[in-house]
Amino acid sequence: MEKDETADGSAGRRGEADLTGWIRLQMASGLRSSGEIVEALLAGAAGDRLPDADWESAGRESAERRGDERAGDERASGLQAGDELLGRGELEELVARVAAQYREQQPGPSADAQALVSAARGLTTIGLLVALGDEEDETLAREAALRRAAAARAGGAIITGCVYASRAAVEDMVLLGRLELGVAALEEDEHSAVGAQLASALGGGPIQAQAATLGRDVVDQLVAAGLPARWDGGPGSPVVVEPIAYAAPLVD
């Protein structure tokens, strides 16, 4: 199929419906601002996660994910959707249009989004760092969360571990109504000043953070906030929150 290309390398508007679903997904997840969404699209971030434009009304259960070939021609600064190319200006217009619709339909956080924020606050009060959507995959998310937790502990904070989820996990929460949270414990030095502080805070005894104990603590905090959470108790098993109807307000 031939394209009617413009001087800046963009072509047509066919394919915008494909991108609309992904744009709304980013807005509902609360992970990117409108400007960041445009930059992510130009960088090809939506390539393998393009849900149907009507994924919300379809109940998030059959969100289609398909590959999307990026343009190889360096003269074109844009994202290829189907067989058409959208340039920066078109993407900015599209994102602005979707943002206006989203802001009208979702002026504030959903009840479950508020509950998750409440649970996260509760987790911080019991010494768990919470990091949601900071990295693309689970391995990177775990490593980054552990680094942040260790740095916070080194700065004098009472930290026993972390709760984390990758960007993909947060997107799945929005799409599928299911959130999987990783839980990791920090090794503690019971002879350090921080270890002594932890011993006092935890009522004495050896300072050895146990992932099993942390897993139960995470479930307790989530349930206390009104979210249906479960954990099978297995080493490395995620804490699962399901169902969860999560929608964040638009990030400016």
DSSP secondary structure string, 25-61?
HHHHHT---HHHHHHHHHTTTTTT----TTTTTTTTT
Together in a domain, 75 and 89:
yes
Together in a domain, 147 and 171:
yes
* Nearest one of 143, 142, 132 to 169, comparing CA atoms: 132
Together in a domain, 184 and 170:
yes
Q: How many helices (H) and strands (E) in the chain?
A: 8, 7
Domain contains 8: no
Together in a domain, 81 and 168:
no
For β-strands 128-132 and 78-81, DSSP reports them as unpaired
**Are residues 116 and 239 in contact, defined by beta-carbon separation less than 8 angstroms?**
no
Q: Quick one: pLDDT at residue 207?
A: 32
Domain contains 171: yes
Together in a domain, 93 and 128:
no
Where among 105, 120, 138 does a domain terminate? 105
Q: Quick one: pLDDT at residue 154?
A: 95
Q: Quick one: pLDDT at residue 157?
A: 95
Domain contains 98: yes
Together in a domain, 131 and 94:
no
Q: Quick one: pLDDT at residue 235?
A: 76
Together in a domain, 148 and 209:
yes
Q: In this structure, what DSSP letter does residue 13 have?
A: S
Give me the domain span that covers residue 61: 16-105
Together in a domain, 156 and 86:
no
Pair of tokens at residue 155: 């700065």
Q: Quick one: pLDDT at residue 234?
A: 82
- Distance in angstroms (rounded) separating the CA atoms of residues 29 and 36: 13
Together in a domain, 98 and 205:
no
Together in a domain, 32 and 89:
yes
Together in a domain, 83 and 136:
no
Sign of the CA dihedral with 202 first, then 188, 215, and 178 last: positive
Domain contains 55: yes
Together in a domain, 87 and 124:
no
Where among 89, 105, 121 does a domain terminate? 105
* Nearest one of 46, 30, 120 to 80, comparing CA atoms: 46
Where among 105, 139, 164 does a domain terminate? 105
Pair of tokens at residue 69: 């070939």
| Number of domains comprising the chain | 2
Q: Quick one: pLDDT at residue 8?
A: 42
Domain contains 57: yes
Q: Which segments in the chain show pLDDT lower than 70? A: 1-15, 47-85, 188-210
